[in-house]
Structure 1
Amino acid sequence: MLELTLMELRQLEYFLAITEEGGFTRAAARAHVAQPGVSVQIRRLERELGQELFDRTGRTIRLTQAGEALLPYARAALRAIDDGRLAVDELAGLLRGRVTVGMLTATPADNLIDLLADFHTAHPRVEVSLREDTSDNLVEGLITGTIDLAWVSTAGRTPDGLTGVVVTDEPLVAVVIPDDPLATRASLPLAALADRVLGSLPPGTGLRAALEQSCATAGFTPRIGFEASAPEVLVKLAARGMGVAVVPAPVAALHPTTTRHIPLTDPEPRGRIELAWRAEGPLSPPAQALITAARRAPTPGHTTHPQASAIAGAHE
């Protein structure tokens, strides 16, 4: 086991900064110190360990095998120090620290803004960072610890290594123009779309994964002819005859005059949104407090309009 107690915390902070920023210069800027100072501290750390932590031979800085081995311990050590300080502050009624929140690309953000603003008012000493991305990237950030909690779109089950609560679970439907041969169908087996051009969100999104997994179960690979980062854009493209859009039912219901939407079966593809966080390892007090607040708040993107009670653009 690595003797982390022999290392200065500052060296571990620099090591982590270089890893996350991808270079010594950016790490120095993040730490607000001169770049030579960072290099000196990393050399001392490498001498202490007897191993080089970074491969400096290429154009980009990469972790060596020893660096990869050290990384989870460095994160754990720094997180433990931060959590200890935060626990003491919490006992004194002074919650402070930093929390990073992930949100889906193209999600209407009014409710999320309200949530974060209210949290800031309640805990002004906590720095809140917001990251917008696709579900795959947000899940990776949660697992690696660069994100504390996030709203992610999943294809039927919580990703390994995470836990959370389901906040929406909606069927996907086929959206076609009114004179399409499918428009009069009351429901549609998914295999009926095998030869049709489909519109979907891009790869890396929860809805795309849900569609591809369901099509695989039905025995075919979907022909994706057009993509957009927001489901409503897919509906509008389908309304212009581009093909069949596959989107959440509440989104399709927003356009009843220009399109028809048909429930899909055998299997029924579904998209769901979860508020997720790491299943293992301690959560910082700020992250725990924000998770508690988020579970009580409306889902980001929700609206009270009866035709749009689900998240119109939050299924990345």
Structure 2
Amino acid sequence: MELRQLAYFVAVAEEANFTRAAERVRISQSGVSAQIQQLERELGAALIDRSTRTAGLTAAGRAALEPARAALASAEAVRQAVGEVTGVIRGELTIGMIVGCTISPFFAALADFHQAHPGVAVTLREDNSDRLVDGIRAGSVDLALIGTADAAPAGLNTRTIVSERLVALVPPDHPLAHRRTVTLADLTAHPLICMPSGTGIRTVLDRACAAAGIRPAVTLQASAPDAIVDLAARGLGVAVLSESTAPGHRDRLTARLIDDVEAPALLALVWADAPNPALVKLVRQLRASFP
């Protein structure tokens, strides 16, 4: 039995999918499957139920999951203990970020951290905000840059780095472009282009509509802000974004603040408390980058 086999098993168990688990541990799907099969042969029992579309756990798999996590945590504790004595931090960090992230200081902080601590392997994972928060709570993500409508997801450490109200983006010849102010009722009289559910901007929009008793017609959605801008510029609907997530729109679109949606969309760093020196150092680096 090898630690890497346990790591692959835990990844499949947490992701419930061989493809996502392979992406997480950075080897091929066939490699993950082969190593788990070897582990199953050694244990004499199937751990993964392969009879359904999702990779669920068998009874033996459920029994093995917590001991496997404990073994991996013990191995990490050994690395940390040696690192504290030698002064060299080693290990792995999985960093999550929202799809289409364009926050340059975030990338610069990661680069500075990598230069200062080359013994720490950093993996970047793009996903929507809700799944990144779930990953932090499950332990598969160490820290994430998310979009959110809440100042602090329950039970997690949070540092807000951007707080902005929503704007409507339309071509110059659109009726809303000629209004000095735009209300939620004005906005939702038109087809909307927005981010998917599970993102901060969409959550702010959906909550505002629900509070006003309005059912918006979100006819198109995309995860990348520049895709939303491009769709709106082609006249396919009104884009709803926050100001800084609408790159390069000023030559093609007119931005109007949505006057009666006062709740801001937030970009925030989120992480859980963990006895991980690498995470502590990274958080310190990010705090310096976003004072």
TM-score bracket for this pair, using the shorter chain length: 0.7 to 0.9
| RMSD of equivalent CA atoms | 3.4
Distance in 1 (CA, whole Å) between partners of 2:81 and 2:111 is 23
The answer for the alignment partner of 2:25 in structure 1 is: none
Q: Is 2:265 the counterpart of 1:271?
A: yes
- 1:233-291 superposed Cα distances (whole Å, 9 cap, x missing partner): 33343333322211112455954454322221333242111111125xx2411112112
3-state secondary structure, aligned to 1:168: strand
Q: CA deviation at 1:182?
A: 2.8
Q: CA deviation at 1:27?
A: 8.2
TM-score by length of 1: 0.75
Q: CA deviation at 1:56?
A: 5.3
- Aligned counterpart in structure 2 of residue 138 of structure 1, from 132, 142, 147: 132
Amino acid in the other structure paired with 1:142: I
Contact preservation (8 Å) 1:191, 1:219: no
- 1:184-203 superposed Cα distances (whole Å, 9 cap, x missing partner): 43323313323211111123
Q: Is 2:226 the counterpart of 1:232?
A: yes
Contact preservation (8 Å) 2:177, 2:254: yes
- 1:111-131 superposed Cα distances (whole Å, 9 cap, x missing partner): 444323322221121111111
3-state secondary structure, aligned to 2:235: coil
Point out where structure 2 has 5 or more consecutive residues left out of the alignment.
Answer: 23-27
Amino acid in the other structure paired with 1:147: V
Amino acid in the other structure paired with 2:43: I
The answer for the alignment partner of 2:41 in structure 1 is: 40
3-state secondary structure, aligned to 1:183: helix
The answer for the alignment partner of 1:201 in structure 2 is: 195
3-state secondary structure, aligned to 2:257: strand
Q: Is 2:216 the counterpart of 1:215?
A: no
Distance in 2 (CA, whole Å) between partners of 1:252 and 1:89 is 43
Contact preservation (8 Å) 1:174, 1:264: yes
3-state secondary structure, aligned to 1:261: strand
- Aligned counterpart in structure 2 of residue 99 of structure 1, from 69, 93, 106: 93
- Aligned counterpart in structure 2 of residue 289 of structure 1, from 259, 262, 281: 281
Q: CA deviation at 1:168?
A: 0.4
Point out where structure 1 has 5 or more consecutive residues left out of the alignment.
Answer: 1-6, 47-51, 300-316
3-state secondary structure, aligned to 2:141: coil
Q: CA deviation at 1:36?
A: 5.7
Distance in 2 (CA, whole Å) between partners of 1:12 and 1:252 is 43
Contact preservation (8 Å) 1:103, 1:132: yes
Contact preservation (8 Å) 1:196, 1:243: yes
Q: CA deviation at 1:103?
A: 1.7
Structure 2 CA distance for partners of 1:17 and 1:183, relative to 1, 3 Å: closer
The number of residue pairs the alignment matches comes to: 283
Contact preservation (8 Å) 2:137, 2:272: yes
Distance in 1 (CA, whole Å) between partners of 2:249 and 2:53 is 51
Q: CA deviation at 1:211?
A: 1.3
- Aligned counterpart in structure 2 of residue 169 of structure 1, from 159, 163, 174: 163
Contact preservation (8 Å) 2:80, 2:89: yes
> Between Structure 1 and Structure 2, whose CA radius of gyration is higher?
1
Contact preservation (8 Å) 1:211, 1:269: no
Amino acid in the other structure paired with 2:31: A
Amino acid in the other structure paired with 2:265: G
Contact preservation (8 Å) 1:177, 1:238: yes
3-state secondary structure, aligned to 1:204: coil
Is 112-121 or 66-75 further displaced after alignment?
66-75
Amino acid in the other structure paired with 2:237: G
Contact preservation (8 Å) 2:8, 2:36: no
Contact preservation (8 Å) 1:28, 1:38: no
3-state secondary structure, aligned to 1:119: helix
Identity %: 40
Amino acid in the other structure paired with 2:121: E
Structure 2 CA distance for partners of 1:235 and 1:80, relative to 1, 3 Å: same
The answer for the alignment partner of 2:83 in structure 1 is: 89
The answer for the alignment partner of 1:187 in structure 2 is: 181
Structure 2 CA distance for partners of 1:257 and 1:241, relative to 1, 3 Å: same
3-state secondary structure, aligned to 1:90: helix
Q: CA deviation at 1:165?
A: 0.4
Structure 2 CA distance for partners of 1:222 and 1:165, relative to 1, 3 Å: same
